[in-house]
Structure 1
Amino acid sequence: MSSANSNVLLVEDNPGDARLIQEMLADSDGDSFRLWRADRLSAGLDMLSSGDIGVVLLDLSLPDSLGIETFCTMFAHAPQVPIIVLTGTDDEVMALHAVKTGAQDYLVKGEVNSNLLLRAMRYAMERKEAERALRESEERYALAAAGANDGLWDWHLQRGRAYFSPRWKSMLGFADDEIGDDPEAWLALIHTDDITTVRTQLANPQTLSGAPLNVEYRIRTRNGDYRWMLCRGMAVCDRDGLPLRMAGSQTDIHARKLAEERLLRDSLHDGLTGLPNRNLVTHRLHQSIEHMQRQPERRFAVLFLDLDRFKNVNDSLGHTTGDKLLIECGRRLGLCCRPHDTLARLGGDEFVLLLEDINNATDAIRVADRIQRHFATPFLIDGYELFMNCSIGIALSTPEYHHADELLRDADTAMYRAKADGKACYALFDADMHHRAVAALDMESSLRRSIDREGFELHYQPVIELQTGRISSFEALIRWPHETRGLISPAEFIPLAEETSLILPIGRWALREACRQLRQWQTADVRLAGLGISVNLSARQFSDEGLVGQVADVLEETGLPPACLKLEITESVLMVNAQLALSRLTQLRAMGIGISMDDFGTGYSSLSYLQRFPIDTLKIDQSFIAAMAHTVEGAEIVRAILNLGKALHLEVIAEGAESAAQVNMLQDMGCPLTQGYFFSRPLPHHEAETLLRSTFLTR
Structure 2
Amino acid sequence: MPSSRARLFVLFAVLTLALAGLTARATAFEVVTVPDGINAVNLRAALDVLPGEDGSVQISTAPGEDGIIRRIEVISIQEGTNPNWAVFALRNESDVQIERLLVAPYFRLPGSGVLHPDLGSGRITAMTPSHGLRPERVPDREADVFDIVIDPGATVTLVVELTSDTLPELYLWEPDAYRDYINSFTLFRGVVLGIASLAAVFLTIMFVVKGRGVFPATATLAWAVLAYLLIDFGIFGPLLGVSNANIQPFRAAAEAALATALFGFLFIYLNLHRWHFRFTHIALGLSAIFIALFVYAFFNPALAAGISRSSLALIGLVGIFLILLLSIRGYDRAVLLVPTWVIFLAWLFYAWSVVTGQVSNDIAQSAVAGGLVLIVMLLGFTAIQHAFSDGQVSIGALSEVERRALAMTGSGDFVFDWNIDRDRVNVSEELAVRLGERKGALRGAIKRWLDRVHPEDRDRFRTALDTLIELKRGKINSDIRIAGFDGNFRAFRMRVKPVLGGDSQVNRIVGSLQDVTDERASRDRLLHDAVHDSLTGLPNRQLFLDRLERALVRSREFEEVKPAVFLIDLDKFTEIDERIGHMAADSLLLAVSRRLSRLLRPLDTLARISGDQFAVVLLSEQSASKIADIAEQMRKALRNPFNFGDRDMTLTASIGITIYDNKPATAEDVLRDAELAMHYAKRHGGDRIEAFRAATRSIAVYAQAMEDDLRDALERRDLQLYYQPIVDIQNDNRIIGAEALLRWQHPERGQVSPSAFVPLAERTGQIEKLGRIAFEEAAEQARVLSTTFKLPDDFYISVNMSAAQLTSESLLNDMRTLVAQHKSVARHMKLEVTESQVMTNPEHAVYMLQAFKALGLGLALDDFGTGYSSLAYLHRFPFDTIKLPAEFIQIRDDSGVSHTQIPIIAAVVGLARELDLALIAEGVETDDEIARLKSLECRYAQGFAFGAAMPGQEFARRLQAQQSKA
TM bucket by the smaller chain? 0.3 to 0.5
- With normalisation by structure 1, the TM-score equals 0.44
